[in-house]
Copies of this chain bind each other. A is one copy, B any other.
Amino acid sequence: MNADPKFLSASATVDAAAVTPLPNSRKVYVTGSRPDLRVPMREIQQSPTPASFGFEANPPVWVYDTSGPYTDPDLRIDIRAGLPCPRSNWIRERGDTVELAGPSSSYGQARLNDPKLAELRFDLQRRPRRAAGGRNVTQMHYARQGIVTPEMEFVAIRENLRRQEYLQNLRSAGPTGERMAALLGRQHPGQPFGAAIQHEITPEFVRDEIARGRAILPANINHPESEPMIIGRNFLVKINANIGNSAVTSSIGEEVEKMTWAIRWGGDTVMDLSTGKHIHETREWIIRNSPVPIGTVPLYQALEKVNGKAEELSWEIYRDTLIEQAEQGVDYFTIHAGVRLPFIPMTANRLTGIVSRGGSIMAKWCLAHHRESFLYTHFEEICEIMKAYDVAFSLGDGLRPGSIYDANDEAQLAELHTLGELTQIAWQHDVQTMIEGPGHVPLQLIKENMDLQLAQCHEAPFYTLGPLTTDIAPGYDHITSGIGAANIGWYGTAMLCYVTPKEHLGLPDKDDVKDGIITYKIAAHAADLAKGHPGAQIRDNALSKARFEFRWEDQFNLGLDPDKAREFHDETLPKESSKVAHFCSMCGPHFCSMKITQEVREYAAGGMQEKAVEFVRKGGELYQKA
């Protein structure tokens, strides 16, 4: 029983803001090859074009939906019970896992048996699973056996967003529909820098990308609540949101709320970076209520277990932590195994030294013992653990630059090279692997990071924090880094780790989380457009059409943040009638460029084109020869 009234009151129900469907939106499910394979999407309804622009129906737009069951009004949300488990059957059916009697980590057992924690503990009714003796249960392993798992089919449907069917349906609705399909479906050719962008994603393509290591599908067998998603250069660019309490502030309830808030606005994965008390219990609540993959940095918790004394860390403590977290259902682990002893002195002349927490912990350990990192020397044993639960590697960039000054330096690049070597070892074990990247990098040096990562890490997905393109704007690092993120996403980064406005200054609250998410959704979408992901432009086209036709509500609703758009509009023109008005506050009712354009179009339709051509033919050039 979770009977702590203080905790329960904050979290037994999710805050209303997280469970209300977005305006004019409804949750729809596309069913795959089996009835229990239901892929969620969000359908945004539109109003018809006003008569003055020539009445026509505007089809709903389908968008990628990370918000999970929270925005499905047919489901009852009770965070004490956790989310439904769409993957349970799939995992069981494979017949390669066993249910354990209970947690097999010492720490997990101790926490379970500690009566003082009863009131904080999530009341999990099932027991953890693990691969049956010696089996490998990773999606990469299945992929390499030629097996298309339900998870792979799920992400194929999810990535396609029913686009071809959508345009086909429009086309089959007669000439108007054909025009609409041509208009909404039109897209500029992309510059994918060598990415293998597909016209349509097939389950077989998903399998092949996972098999060759170019994509990962984070899907711990102990996180059956998750809705499968994929991270790879040939798929939509994803974003991660970091949450987590610290020794200084915030509670379990707040962190669960930040998670539901982050996925409402588009977080594709969430990392729980808690460093404070009750890390284990906080994590359990988050995972049981998360439809997106959860990542962690196990080293943070291991450090807590030795009271913050890095030199007291050991492989045994770390190993127990990996098993503890793997059995809770963490989908990917950041592991800083590339912070090797010989690289540490390379950081001595840096302006900002080692800024990665994980990196600095390991550096301290290495120096204290004057030994090679236990993460590096025990890497194959780590692989054995990862493949027993299907936890993916996120090979951490512990030596990433913490300032423009330190960008692309010897230490950073030495570590990157090592991460490439470790990737090949992980792949020998069929363990899914992505590579973390910087950090602080000026614009002109970003592409070098991507090119080196692709070459040295054999096209394993890149997962970068920003990068921040300048250091001079504390308070606005969502923007300094959003610029870098859009660029590196374009060049090929598969997932962008968000940065909030509070970066370097404080812990993000819900507003900061939202600002970070929306900024990174913008960066990811700008990158998708730039790479030429098919159909990426549909939403832009639909929104611009709504804007041009003064369909204010549709313009708000098709945007990434309908609430903010409406609020801004209402600050100047609060009346409901303004939302159907054919003018806006920028120009006022007297003059409007969009209105004039409409007149131009009507005029042009009346034979104007021929007259203008004639004008040109007759030598209407006044200055051409000047």
Contact = CB atoms under 8 A, between A and B. Distances in A.
A597 interface: yes
A501 interface: yes
A587 interface: yes
A29 interface: no
Interface in A535-560: 537, 539-541, 543-545, 547-548, 555-556, 558-560
Contact of A248 (B186, B354, B504, B573): B573
Central interface residue in A308, A526, A624, by most chain B CB within 10 Å = A526
A381 B403 CA distance: 53
Interface string A609-626: 101110110001011101
A479 B522 contact: yes
Given A344-B608, A486-B483, A620-B372, A598 B564 contact: no
Listed residue (A379, A474, A604) with the most chain B CB atoms within 10 angstroms of its CB: A474
B506 A585 contact: yes
Given A479-B482, A506-B584, A593 B359 contact: yes
B608 A483 contact: no
A345 B470 contact: no
Contact of A526 (B359, B443, B474, B555): B443
Interface stretch (A108-116, A156-164, A362-370): A362-370
A469 B342 contact: no
Contacts of A594: 352-353, 355, 360
A624 to B, nearest CB: 7
Contacts of A190: 444
A364 B600 contact: yes
Given A443-B527, A568-B506, A573-B248, A600 B522 contact: no
Nearest to A531: B444
A376 interface: yes
Nearest to A406: B544
Contacts of A588: 246-248, 275-276
A596 B363 contact: yes
A404 B345 contact: no
Majority SS at the chain A contact face = helix
A530 B442 contact: yes
Nearest to A186: B405
A320 B509 CA distance: 55
A561 interface: yes
A482 B470 CA distance: 13
Contacts of A188: 404, 407-408, 442, 444-445
B443 A490 contact: yes
Protomer copies: 2
Nearest to A509: B571
A547 B505 CA distance: 10
Nearest to A626: B425
A378 to B, nearest CB: 10
Contacts of A504: 547, 555, 584
Contact of A357 (B593, B613, B622, B624): B593
A626 to B, nearest CB: 5
Contacts of A352: 544-545, 547-548, 594, 597
A43 to B, nearest CB: 16
A341 B482 contact: no
A348 B506 contact: no
Interface in A422-442: 422, 424-425, 428, 440, 442
A344 B612 contact: yes
Nearest to A589: B247
Nearest to A608: B345
Interface string A179-199: 000010010111100000000
A353 B548 contact: yes
A471 interface: yes
B342 A310 contact: no
A404 B544 contact: yes
Interface string A431-463: 000000000101111000000000000000000
B475 A565 contact: yes
A587 B246 contact: yes
B569 A505 contact: yes
Contacts of A424: 626
Contact of A342 (B308, B422, B613): B613
A530 B357 CA distance: 28
A315 interface: no
A501 to B, nearest CB: 7
A586 interface: yes
Query: Lowest 7 CB-CB distances: which A-B pairs, in order?
Result: A353-B597, A247-B588, A403-B544, A506-B572, A443-B530, A475-B564, A360-B596
Interface of A: 183, 186, 188-191, 246-249, 275-276, 303, 308, 310, 341-342, 344-345, 347-348, 351-357, 359-361, 363-364, 367, 370, 372, 376-377, 379, 402-405, 407-408, 421-422, 424-425, 428, 440, 442-445, 469-476, 478-480, 482-483, 486-487, 490, 501-502, 504-507, 509, 518-519, 521-523, 525-527, 529-532, 537, 539-541, 543-545, 547-548, 555-556, 558-561, 564-565, 567-569, 571-573, 584-591, 593-594, 596-601, 603-605, 608-609, 611-613, 615-616, 620, 622-624, 626
13 contacts: A275-B587, A345-B604, A353-B594, A354-B597, A364-B599, A367-B604, A402-B548, A470-B525, A472-B543, A473-B518, A478-B479, A479-B518, A505-B572
